[in-house]
Amino acid sequence: MKNMADKAGSRVSRRDFLKYSGIAAGAIILGVGGGETMATTKSVVAFFKTEDRKTGVASSISALDINPVKNKQVLIKPNFNTADLVPGSTHNDTLASLVEQMWRMGAKSVAIGERSYPPTKDVMEQKGVIPLLRKLDAKIINFDDLADKDWVEIRPKGSHWQKGFRVARPVLESECLVSTCCLKTHQYGGVFTMSMKLHVGVVPTTRNGYDYMRELHSSLHQRKMIAEINAPFKPALVVLDGIDAFVDGGPMTGKRAKGNVFLAGTDRVAIDAVGVAILKTLGSNDQIMKRRIFDQEQIARAAELGLGAMSPSAIEILPVDDQSGEYCARVQEMLSRG
């Protein structure tokens, strides 16, 4: 990975602030992270019906017909909030398959970066991923161990964060960020936790005496704040493991259902919108079922910031094969209905 100590100081310069947050002249029109493109081009979400994680990873990514990782230093952000069984956290098979796929696609290096709710090292040890990643020649970046200067302060205009927030420098400076999330509801105010909520783990729990997670989880604007975390960076690839889902409860434990699907794409808003459509198709709680998808505050705020698709019509769900077609069509209809 890049030398994360190259830049001194924990607060960004004006130039870096503009780079990380996108609050430059015209950002409101263009959107942070590529809003203009999103407004004119449909976001493709590959949809693969499967019960096999290794095949799910490879087939969903291959269907996109892109290779953003070749000759890049890849940083993978998994869902290791806790060590609970999938979808409480990323399945080890999904993570291993994703690392292997990155190597097959020509990555220069592969690292895993995470900040968990309990100590991150403890979560990784409980999940048994440390020897697994070592065997796969993947570096571990434990965000708990980052120095103060490597938690970059972001103060975007119009944010619902009282004092702004901090983001792990390895995420901001990654040559190629790949995010892998689960399919589940969130009973503590998030409503759902997929690709955008995943990135709460790039913000510290506490830093310099301030408790960021307490502010987030006690705020009436929690879902908007989740979207705002995503503004300073953009994953090159997002992979959602929806073989197992929580349709109520979550994020650690909840009411289970079989989603039997993998999604892949480059647009976090589109991935989450399709994910919510799948939860609606499976039958979920009232917060999911009784609200239109693009009225969900995470999605609405992210669209407002220009982070991705602005409406269901801006999303194309691509069935990977014939077996995926009927299931994909039902989800597409649900997405279109909202």
Amino acid in position 216:
L
Nearest to 39, CA basis, from 274, 307, 249, 296: 307
Classify residue 148: in a domain, yes or no: yes
Give the count of domains, the chain: 1
Q: How large is the C-alpha radius of gyration of the chain?
A: 18
Residue 317's alpha-carbon distances to 35, 76, 252, 271, 302, in angstroms, are 19, 24, 28, 10, 19
Residue 153: closest CA among 169, 177, 173, 176 = 169
Question: Is position 5 within any domain?
Answer: no
Buried residues in 57-84 as b, exposed as e (16+ CB within 10 A) = bbbbbbbbebebbeebbbbbbbbbbbbb
CA atoms within 13 A on the CB side of 36: 6
Asked if residue 135 belongs to a domain, the reply is yes
Q: What is the pLDDT of residue 97?
A: 98
Residue 6 inside a domain? The answer is no
7 within a domain of the structure (yes/no) = no
The encoded tokens of residue 298 equal 């995470």
Closest CA to 95 of 129, 142, 125, 63: 129
Place of tokens 């609405």: 300
Residue 8 belongs to a domain = no
Residue 34 in any domain: the answer is yes
What residue numbers bound the domain in which 259 lies?
14-337
**pLDDT mean for each 10 residues of the chain (338 residues):** 36 42 32 40 96 98 98 98 97 98 98 96 98 98 97 96 97 98 97 98 96 97 98 98 98 98 98 98 98 98 97 97 98 95
Proportion of the chain in helix, strand, coil states, percent, rounded to 5: 40, 25, 35
Q: Please give the Cα distance from 156 to 305 (Å, whole number).
A: 11
* Count of positions (residues) in the chain: 338
| Position 103 in a domain | yes
CA–CA distance, 296 with 262 (Å, rounded to integer): 22
Single-letter amino acid, residue 218: S
- pTM, whole model, 2 decimals? 0.89
Per-position b or e across 214-241, b if 16+ CB within 10 A of its CB? ebbeeeebbbbbbbbbbbbbbbbbbbbb
Tokens (6 digits) for 182: 């689960």
Specify the pLDDT at position 338. 82
Beta strands in 63-194 (DSSP E): 73-77, 109-114, 139-142, 151-154, 165-168, 176-186, 191-192
